Amino acid sequence: MKIRTLFDTHPQTFSFEFFPPKTAEDGEALFDRARELQQLGASFCSVTYGAGGSTRKNTIDLVCRFQADLGLIGMAHLTCVGHSQTELSDILVELKDRGVENLMCLRGDPPRGETAFTPAPDGFAHAADLVALARRSGDFCIGVAGYPEAHPESVNALQDLQHLKTKVDCGVDFVTTQLFFDAQDYFDFVARARQMGIRQRIIPGIMPILNYRQIVRFTRMCGASIPLALQERLETVAEDTDAVFEIGVDWAWQQCEALLAGGAPGIHFYTLNRSRATQLIFERLRQSSVSVLLPPEA
């Protein structure tokens, strides 16, 4: 099923993102976690794509397995990094032939060790070009990334929104945001996007904090900021894994509650291939006094 079809009957969707494991053993462990999250009533799941297609086969295989063995709607990430237009066209044919109907089209980050993005020979420099190619290549449901605090390479928020509008105009069905930690940043971003003429569903992306040093690194890479109140709480327990976990879950739960109560069309969880944090957040949301449209447990 195409994700956009869900939108006709689901005012809110709840989805989960994984990255391809490096070993077969890790793959089985991830599959078990995905099954646990499926029990929460997942709307769909997505699988990321390594730099230069380094996880291409695993990405496609994992999406297909989620669909076949768990009955989950799957979405494969695809990036421009390291691929010519011909290679991207071939990948799109493979995805279509294997029954993958949903794509997250991204430019992708520069390979490790490089500070600037350089397209491959005869490749694409922008996600909008990949969206246009995917739209020409088949009846895919296409998602793209949005940045509530602007992409770190953008001059300002206005330029970043203009880039998003360019992608959307190439044939995008929905937008999923990069991680952020203040619900108001999401609502402000959506308001600006609507003023820009972007009408597609914008799903907030939430990453429960599991490791303080890791989240500091992530935010520097993607241009997100950590609110001072959260930063102060984390810094005092930075080396205490359990305490960081509890703070991360508590903050993410409050974010989700505020987002859903404010009318957000669901949540996309960046799971980091874990399940416990997301499970706890769902439990708290189901006990909340705020009226939200959580899916029934499977």
- At 144 the three-state DSSP class reads strand
Predicted TM-score (pTM) of this structure: 0.94
Structure tokens at 229: 């109140």
Confidence of residue 21 (pLDDT cuts 50, 70, 90): confident
- The active-site residue out of 17, 101, 149, 257 is 17
Nearest residue to 204 via CA among 176, 227, 226, 168: 176
Q: What is the pLDDT of residue 109?
A: 81
Active site residue 36: no
* Residue pLDDT, tens place only, 132-168: 999 999 999 999 999 999 999 999 999 999 999 999 9
Answer for the pair 74, 99: CB distance below 8 angstroms, yes or no: no
**SS3 helix, strand, coil % of the chain, rounded to 5?**
45, 15, 40
- Is residue 289 predicted with pLDDT exceeding 80? no
| Fold topology of 3-284 | TIM Barrel (3.20.20)
- Is residue 56 predicted with pLDDT exceeding 80? no
Alpha-carbon radius of gyration of the chain: 18
- Is residue 112 predicted with pLDDT exceeding 90? no
Q: 77: how many CB neighbours lie within 10 A of its CB? A: 22
Q: What is the mean pLDDT of residues 204-219?
A: 94
* Residue pLDDT, tens place only, 240-283: 999 999 999 999 999 999 999 999 999 999 999 999 999 999 88
Q: What is the pLDDT of residue 99?
A: 96
Confidence of residue 51 (pLDDT cuts 50, 70, 90): low
Answer for the pair 81, 51: CB distance below 8 angstroms, yes or no: yes
- Which are the contacts of 73, defined by CB distance < 8 A and separation ≥ 6? 1, 3, 6, 43, 44, 45, 67, 102
What string of DSSP letters covers 197-234?
T--SEEEEEE---S-HHHHHHHHHHHT----HHHHHHH
Confidence of residue 87 (pLDDT cuts 50, 70, 90): very high
- Is residue 225 predicted with pLDDT exceeding 70? yes
